[in-house]
Amino acid sequence: MSSGRRPGLSVNETDPSLVIELRIETSRALLSAYDAGDLDAAIVLRVDRRRGDGEVPMEESFGWMGVPDFRHAPGEPLRLAAQSAPCTVRSAAIEALDRAGIPWTEAFVGGGVATIGAAISAGLAVGALVRRVAPAGTIDLGPRLGLPTLQDAETMLHSNPTDAGARGALRTLGAAFRAGAS
């Protein structure tokens, strides 16, 4: 019988005294705090390739997620659920729709993946989400609705800890991300 535990050290085994403070913010806000020295590490989604530093623990695949019975009448604007600007995913989704000449309207503007997922699960709209975090029961409606393919993105780990224990914990955390993606 399997214990469900992955082989290798856990973060707790790396340094049981380590304290992790988790902030859930936009990638831009986290990178800004990291660059200002307010954070020892930041795990962010990189959709563009302008910034070259950081480690890539995993690639993320996006889809136009919605409930299977989502209704979209031809000729009507696509109802979109997204985070508020300046969200990178929001910008990428809107640019893809505009390039494809697909009219859209905001049906829901939320503050995080969970709120976007709730709007999508309720059948209110379609949203550009990483497939891995899409709510249960949702599917990629892109092919059915003729929506443009969304560019994959990388999850980036930016870190500069001076403490050896924190560096080890971050290596373990990066390995957990990679294992969870496979």
* Coil, strand or helix at 145: helix
pLDDT digits (tens, 9 = 90+) for 115-159: 999 999 999 999 999 888 899 999 999 999 999 999 887 777 777
Which domains, and CATH codes, for the chain? 23-60+153-181 (no CATH), 62-145 (3.40.190.10)
pLDDT digits (tens, 9 = 90+) for 31-49: 788 888 888 777 777 655 6
Give the count of beta carbons closer than 10 Å to the beta carbon of residue 31.
Answer: 19
Residue among 166, 175, 161 nearest 18 (CA): 166
Return the amino acid letter for 12. Answer: N
Do residues 110 and 83 make contact, with C-beta atoms less than 8 angstroms apart? yes
pLDDT at 15: 63
Residue among 38, 43, 25 nearest 170 (CA): 43
* pTM beyond 0.85: no
